[in-house]
Amino acid sequence: MRTAFIEQLCALAEQDERIWLTCGDLGYSVLEAFADRFPARYLNVGVAEQNMTGVAAGLALAGKTVFTYSIANFPIMRCLEQIRNDVCYHNLNVKIVAVGGGLAYGSHGYTHHAVEDMAIMSALPNLIVAAPADPVEARAITTILVQHPGPAYLRLGKAGEPVLHADGVKVEFGKAICVCDGGDLTILSIGGMLGTVLKAGEDLRRQGIHPRILSMPFLTPLDSESVLRAASETGVILTVEEHGYGGLGTAVAEVLASSGVTTAFLPLRLARTPIKIAGSQEQLRSAQGLSTEGIVQTAISLCRNISQRNAPPQNSPQMDTR
């Protein structure tokens, strides 16, 4: 995903001289592609994220479209106040890029687990929060963010994610992408979980359950319309994210609760407890149910609950089953 991002950014920078890239001393073997081609618009600020973000705000004030780049939590947490006050408050053209969202740096330990980032970022004013699922989404969203004036947060995976979308898939600002349609439940996926969700979808179909699968690359603005349509058409909503509380599950719950629509709903996400053991991204995800099996089991029990709830009462006609 990061390769797709940097390739796309270079292609855009070729056309648009306002595009700058700054980093906090990270990006080895990735950012050289930009630095070599556009040295006058590249800047390694050093291990100094507050200054990186402030400098980016200054460059944006001078008319630039500035990408800040670092890994996991580094480009957002130390410099959160710079993002809030300098960038978002002033609605500046700064795009914050974090590589290794979620548990991509699994074995590096909790300092490197970006699992609260979307909750924090989605609370900020004017900020677009995007988490692409695959290289196709990453390329398209990089372009969308350049076209969209104002601040954005782009949460990327690391490297080597497979292409999941067919050629010509339509990626639109603030819109969900329907990856497969079905009527038994809807699985909403954000970021790099989509591959696992698609595999779970195949398993479910083999068992006679037909899920609608929506990739939700934008947390803000959220495609509430697609969420509500899914709720009314399928009656069961499962959200899947490599993130803790305050992310897609929370946002979707708010949309559903505010609308008054009756639906079964479950957010599949990470627990609040910091992970203190080493493990690959796959292992750490699976330990919290973010695996093909975990998604399948959760989906089945959610569908079973709803069918039991909707079944006509038997043996106790006097009881109000509702």
Partner 1 sequence: MQNDPSTLSQRASQLRAHAVRMVHRSRASHLGSCLSMADILTCLYWNTLRVDPAHPDWDLRDRFFLSKGHGAALLYAALAERGFFSVDELQQYCMSGSRLTGHVTSGVPGVEFSSGSLGHALPVGCGVALAAKRENLQYRSVVLCSDGELDEGSNWEAILFAPQHQLDNLLLVVDYNRIQSFGSVRDVLDLDPLADKFRAFRWAVREVDGHNMQQLVDTFSVLPFERGRPSVVIANTIKGKGVSFMEDALAWHYKTPTAEQVSLALRELGVDA
Q: Establish if 57 lies at the interface with partner 1 (CB under 8 A).
A: yes
With CB under 8 A as the contact rule, which of the stretches 38-46, 113-121, 124-132, 149-157 interacts with partner 1? 38-46
Question: Which residue's CB is nearer to partner 1, number 77 or number 159?
Answer: 77
Gap between the Cα atoms of 21 and 164, Å rounded = 28
Residue 300's nearest CA partner among 214, 180, 209 is 209
- Choose, by CB under 8 A, the member of 50, 224, 286, 291 that binds partner 1: 50
Residue 298's nearest CA partner among 231, 234, 223, 203 is 203
Question: Which residue's CB is nearer to partner 1, number 40 or number 166?
Answer: 40
Judged by DSSP in three states, 117 sits in helix
Token pair of 284 as six digits: 């750490």
Q: Identity (one letter) of the amino acid at 84?
A: R
- Choose, by CB under 8 A, the member of 31, 45, 71, 177 that binds partner 1: 45
Q: Establish if 80 lies at the interface with partner 1 (CB under 8 A).
A: no
Q: Identity (one letter) of the amino acid at 108?
A: H
Question: Which residue's CB is nearer to partner 1, number 47 or number 163?
Answer: 47
Q: Establish if 100 lies at the interface with partner 1 (CB under 8 A).
A: no
With CB under 8 A as the contact rule, which of the stretches 79-87, 174-182, 212-220, 310-318 interacts with partner 1? 79-87
Q: Establish if 51 lies at the interface with partner 1 (CB under 8 A).
A: yes
Site for partner 1 in 143-182 (CB under 8 A): none
β-sheet bridge partners, residue 178: 214
Q: Establish if 126 lies at the interface with partner 1 (CB under 8 A).
A: no
Q: Establish if 56 lies at the interface with partner 1 (CB under 8 A).
A: yes
* Residue 133 exposed, middle or buried by CB count within 10 Å (0-12, 13-18, 19+): buried
Q: Establish if 55 lies at the interface with partner 1 (CB under 8 A).
A: yes
How does DSSP classify residue 102?
Answer: B
Total interface residues for partner 1 by CB under 8 A: 26
- Choose, by CB under 8 A, the member of 27, 54, 100, 267 that binds partner 1: 54
Question: Which residue's CB is nearer to partner 1, number 27 or number 201?
Answer: 27
> Are the C-beta atoms of residues 217 and 190 closer than 8 Å to each other?
yes
Contacts of 260 (CB under 8 A, 6+ apart): none
Task: Supply the minimum distance, in Å, between the C-beta of residue 71 and partner 1.
Answer: 18
Task: Supply the minimum distance, in Å, between the C-beta of residue 57 and partner 1.
Answer: 5
Token pair of 288 as six digits: 């919290």
Element of type H or E holding 175: none
Q: How many CB atoms lie within 10 A of CB 14?
A: 11
Task: Supply the minimum distance, in Å, between the C-beta of residue 61 and partner 1.
Answer: 6
Report the side by side order of strands in the sheet with 94-99.
42-44, 19-23, 65-71, 94-99, 152-156, 128-130, 218-220
Token pair of 77 as six digits: 């947490």
What does R_g of the chain's alpha carbons equal in angstroms? 21
Question: Which residue's CB is nearer to partner 1, number 54 or number 217?
Answer: 54
Q: Establish if 63 lies at the interface with partner 1 (CB under 8 A).
A: yes
Question: Which residue's CB is nearer to partner 1, number 62 or number 271?
Answer: 62
Residue 96's nearest CA partner among 301, 228, 277, 120 is 120
With CB under 8 A as the contact rule, which of the stretches 45-53, 168-176, 288-296, 299-307 interacts with partner 1? 45-53
- Choose, by CB under 8 A, the member of 11, 14, 36, 85 that binds partner 1: 85
With CB under 8 A as the contact rule, which of the stretches 48-56, 223-231, 232-240, 301-309 interacts with partner 1? 48-56
Give the binding site for partner 1 (CB under 8 A). 40-41, 43, 45-46, 48, 50-51, 53-64, 81-82, 85-86, 89-90
